[in-house]
Each structure stands twice: as structure tokens, then as C-alpha cells.
A and B are shown apart, each in its own frame.
Chain A
């Protein structure tokens, strides 16, 4: 049972307000309960938890002074490059493997092996190879995005309905036309269905890369703040990151809606 849109929005906001209120009260109101502690104490010590006001103030100042924009831009650039390169590679190789069964069979164990590897261990290697600039982060993102897109495209081309294929051939399509009219749209469909995950992973690659060693980016800022026990800075970085992710996700949804207009709407549980 789904209530109206505004009710839902109200409830969603209520959750945020309640959580923020608990955080705010816990970190600003000193309790004096001798049974627990001799001295008056905070439930959420601001040294460890900061306060909502301080976090929002810091975030606002970062944006207002313009200090954060540069880092945001770097992270965005890394994310986009990682996604573009990883997706292009995934589509090409996925397509190729799906059409050449022998190739897929030969490389199968290696692909599985590479995909099973936790990508974080690669970060120092990439930093060594590509330096501390953006490319080591892009490379890390690519290793994440590539496999998601690769597996989806591979599956998409493999699972083209045999009837659809037979129909296309009976309608007179040659190999090239089959590629363009049957395999390619099918592969793209599967790729787009993994778009949210792929973009998300591109961002994870960028931020984790920055966190492990960089001179700019959101991950770098969070790492810097942690280094000096600046909890407000860490939380502010997380807030910026979350907003950033939500905006990117909304953009992806908009693109998806445009491109997959022919797809039946998923049966949403209402």
C-alpha cells in the first residue's frame, strides 16, 4: 500500500530530522548522572562524533570559499574517465568473447581469477606505475567497472532470444545487420541495466584510490582530516560524497529513462 508522494516525502524527512536531532542533542547536551559517571558527560562526545551544526557549517564554508570545488572536480573527472574507459573495454571485450566461444573458453579461468581479486590490493601497484595523479585512481575504477560491464554485455549477447535471431535472419539480415539490429541493442540493454552499479563502482575506485594516496580529491580530503583527528572534516567529506553520489545517481536514472524507453516498467511492489 503506497501513500501519496507528499506523505512519503514527509516520512523520509522525518527520519532525517529524528536522526539529526538525536545526534545534535547527544553531542551538545551534557548529562549529569552520578550513577554512570562522576563528571557531567556527553552521550555522543563531540571529539569523536562532532556536531551536526559544525559539520554543516564546515560543509557550507568549504563550498562558499570554493575550497571543495577543485577536489570535487578531480573526483568527478576520475569517476567519468574510469566509467568511460571501463565501459568501453567491457563492451568491446564482452562482445568479442560472446561471439567467439573458443576465446571465451580459453580466457574463462583468467577472467574469473582477475574478477575475484580484491581490487584494493591493486591500488598501491597502480600508484607505483601511474604515479599519485588521477590516472592511478582511474585505473582502479576501470578494473571495477570493466568486469561489471563485461559480464553484462557477454550475457546480453549470449542470451539473445534464438527466435528473435531466427526471425531476423528470415527477414533477410546479413551478419553485419544482425550485429547492428540484434546483438548490439541487446548488449547495450544489459549494459544500461548495470549502469547504476557501474557508475557507483567507478566512484568507489576513485575515492578509494584517493584515500590510499593522492594530492587531491574527496577521498584525499577525508584522509587528510582523519590524519589530524578532524572528525568534523571527515563527516563533512562524507556528507559531500553522499550528495555527490545522489546527484550522479539521479543523472544516471534520467539517462536510463531516456534510453530504455522501450522496456516494460518493472513491476514495482506497491
Chain B
């Protein structure tokens, strides 16, 4: 069904899948006088191997984030199952770290306090948590900004703090919801590279949601395409056979171009459909 490329690929050793979504259907109750519920995602099947970097791409409003929230345990699917390392997920996903699209730092805590909070709440001694938080800030290149409050940092710097805040807890699964969406193009590429550097140190399973196909190909082992909503489905997936470590120049790779062209051909129709959908919804209201 989906055109998976059979190019030789240094695939991560697959033992148990980190995340398995089976026939996941996510619906939201309709606020208007108990009307039919709105189905955001339908029949989503996806397995993410331990150590695999999967990018999920789709048109606006296709339910990419919804799928991520279901994996995080923030949303309960109407039907279907979510299992994490072979165990059915109930409640919040304690093995996952989540980097949100919107601002999610504690504005009343400094950068180092923001990073340390994940350790503080499990009872790590304060000094130890601070020291480790400073190390993580150094790793994301913000050693000199440890005592600044979020509003004193730029958008890119705040995302770095967010990344450190999530990674300090050593989650087995990293969920990222268009984390670099609001950043400018150059900063996004730099953040992408930083992410790959940190990720290659201890390959976690990553689910990376983005609307940017280039970003997806540049970062991921596998690109999953979702169709236009409502009741969006996963409509195809492509392996990315570009060797790692990759750097910024990956976008100049001929393989990159070929893949981009191929995936875009499939994605284009859905994007157009997605826009048409959102227009009719707006007119309906």
C-alpha cells in the first residue's frame, strides 16, 4: 500500500516497539446541543520502534497533535489502543517527555529552575538538581543564561530551555509537537541540528509532528503522512535512507530532493483538501 523504499538502511534494532497505536479513533464531543461528536483521527495505526525517529506530517488541522496527545495520555482515544513498550497506556504516559508547540515554561522560574523542576518534583536534592540542570543548559548552549527568566530569552532560547527541561528526565520516548514552529527558518535548522546531536547520544524513540516536510525529511528515519481531517487517517509512510549523522547540508543531498518530490506528490492533494475543509468549516460557522 504505502511506498516504502527498500534502500539499505541502518535500521535501529527492533525489539519491542516504544509506541504502538492500533486502530486509534479520537473524537471530541460536539458542544452544540449534543450534536454528533467530531472525529479528529480515525483508524490510526502506527508503530514507533525504540530509538526510531518518526516524523508525522500533514495538512493543518489534520489531527497530528491529537495523535501525539493520545500517545502522551493527555487524551483518551474513543476506541483503539495505545501501548507503550508493550503495555497498554492508562493515564499519563510516564515514559514520555513532551515538547509543546506553545510556550510551556514556568514564567516565574529562571531557566535553570525550569530545567531542574523535573528533578525537584521527584525529590532530587536541590543542589544536585541545579547542578544537573546547569549541565543540561550548557548542552543546549545556554550556560550563560541560566539565571534569566523566560521573558528575557528569545523564542529559540526558550525552546532550548524547553528541550533541556524535557530531556533532563531521560524520557524513553520524546513527543514533539511542532516544537520549532514559531521560530524563524535559520533558527529552526539550528534547533533541528541540536536536536539530532542530543538524540544521537542516547537514541530515544521520537514522534515529531510538523507541517514542514523538509524539516521532517531532514530529521527523521521515517516520515508518516496524515490525510486531511476530519477523521484523518495515516495515508502513507516513507523511510528516509539518508545516512546519519546528518548536518544542515542534508537539504542539498540529491536523495533528499527525490524523496521530497515523491512525498510532496502524495501530500499536495491532502493539503489542498485540508484548506478546502477548513474554509467550509469557517463558512459553516
Contact = CB atoms under 8 A, between A and B. Distances in A.
Contact of B106 (A172, A174, A181, A263): A181
User: Chain A CB within 10 Å — which of B94, B105, B121 has the most?
Assistant: B121
B169 interface: yes
Interface SS of chain A? helix
Contacts of B108: 185, 189, 262
B169 A172 contact: yes
A168 B97 CA distance: 11
B104 A167 contact: yes
Interface in A145-197: 161, 163-164, 166-174, 177, 181-182, 185, 189
B104 A173 contact: no
B117 A166 contact: no
Interface in A210-226: none
Interface string B83-119: 0000000001110111010111111111000000110
Contacts of A161: 102-104
B180 to A, nearest CB: 16
A166 B74 contact: yes
Contacts of B169: 171-172
Contact of A171 (B103, B118, B151): B118
B31 interface: no
Contacts of B118: 171-172
B149 A163 contact: no
Nearest to B100: A163
Query: How many of chain B's residues touch chain A, expressed as a range?
Result: 20 to 34
A139 to B, nearest CB: 33
A261 interface: yes
A168 B100 CA distance: 11
A171 B94 contact: no
B72 A170 contact: yes
User: Chain B CB within 10 Å — which of A164, A177, A262 has the most?
Assistant: A262
A34 interface: no
**4 closest pairs, A vs B, by CB?**
A167-B104, A264-B151, A262-B149, A163-B102
Interface of A: 161, 163-164, 166-174, 177, 181-182, 185, 189, 261-264
Given A168-B106, A172-B121, A263-B149, 14 more contacts: A164-B104, A166-B98, A167-B98, A167-B104, A170-B72, A170-B96, A170-B98, A171-B117, A171-B165, A171-B169, A185-B106, A262-B107, A262-B150, A263-B107
A90 B74 CA distance: 32
B8 interface: no
Nearest to B92: A169
A161 B108 CA distance: 13
B100 A167 contact: yes
B1 to A, nearest CB: 34
Contact of A166 (B97, B100, B109, B110): B100
Contact of B104 (A163, A189, A262): A163
A262 B106 CA distance: 10
B281 interface: no
B14 to A, nearest CB: 26
10 contacts: A161-B103, A164-B104, A166-B98, A168-B106, A170-B72, A170-B92, A172-B122, A181-B117, A261-B149, A264-B151
A164 B94 CA distance: 17
B157 to A, nearest CB: 15
Interface string B219-237: 0000000000000000000
A168 B122 CA distance: 13
Nearest to A162: B102
Contacts of B92: 169-170
Contacts of A164: 103-106
Contacts of B117: 171, 181
A47 B74 CA distance: 74
B65 to A, nearest CB: 11
A147 B166 CA distance: 39
A254 B10 CA distance: 61
A268 B103 CA distance: 24
A169 B117 CA distance: 12
Contacts of A166: 74, 98, 100, 104
Nearest to A170: B98
A24 to B, nearest CB: 49
Interface in B252-268: none
B100 A263 contact: no
A87 B195 CA distance: 46
Nearest to A188: B108
A164 B169 CA distance: 17
A177 B122 CA distance: 10
Contacts of A189: 108
A259 to B, nearest CB: 10
Contacts of B166: 171
Contact of B94 (A167, A172, A177, A263): A172
Nearest to A189: B108
Nearest to B103: A163
Nearest to B99: A167
